Amino acid sequence: MAVRTLENRSSEPGVELLVTEALRREILRRGALRLVGDPRLADWVVRGHVLPLTTSSKSFSSVQLALEYRVTLAVELEVDRGEELEPIIFHRRTLEETELYLASADLEAGRKNRKEALRRVSEVLADRVHDALDDRLHP
């Protein structure tokens, strides 16, 4: 299996790399599939894109300052299985996850919290993709 770098359709720089690397790590971690770097050598090729992120305030202080934010990450993926077979398609509803992160008056701390939330969501989605692929490839 090969995992192509996803296309980033969000305004969050680098989120496509977080999700792509999470998918690759999950394949390597589980060991049920062999990861190859060249899509031409793979029986299965994962490709897709990260959709625009949604962020909203979750909780507020008594003076109406946001204490937590909610970020939702969604991806659409397709797994090509060769020219003679139909691809496996994962739609947004399947691959959407939300995570909370703490707000901070320190801009850098806020960015770090957001990036960590996106990393956690990426791992959850990668786990979900691997489970679905395993179910379809090894019924």
Domain ranges of the chain: 2-137
Confidence band for 62, pLDDT divided at 50, 70 and 90: low
Closest CA to 44 of 32, 56, 61: 32
List pLDDT tens digits, range 25-59. Answer: 999 999 888 999 998 888 889 999 999 999 988 76
CATH 3.30.160.150 at 2-137, yes or no: yes
Confidence band for 94, pLDDT divided at 50, 70 and 90: confident
Residues 6+ apart with CB under 8 A from 114: 69, 71, 101
pLDDT value of residue 92:
66
Whether the Cβ atoms of residue 93 and residue 76 lie closer than 8 Å to each other = no
Averaged pLDDT of the chain: 88
Res. 6: pLDDT tops 70: yes
List pLDDT tens digits, range 64-82. Answer: 566 889 999 999 999 887 6
Res. 91: pLDDT tops 80: no
Whether the Cβ atoms of residue 100 and residue 58 lie closer than 8 Å to each other = yes
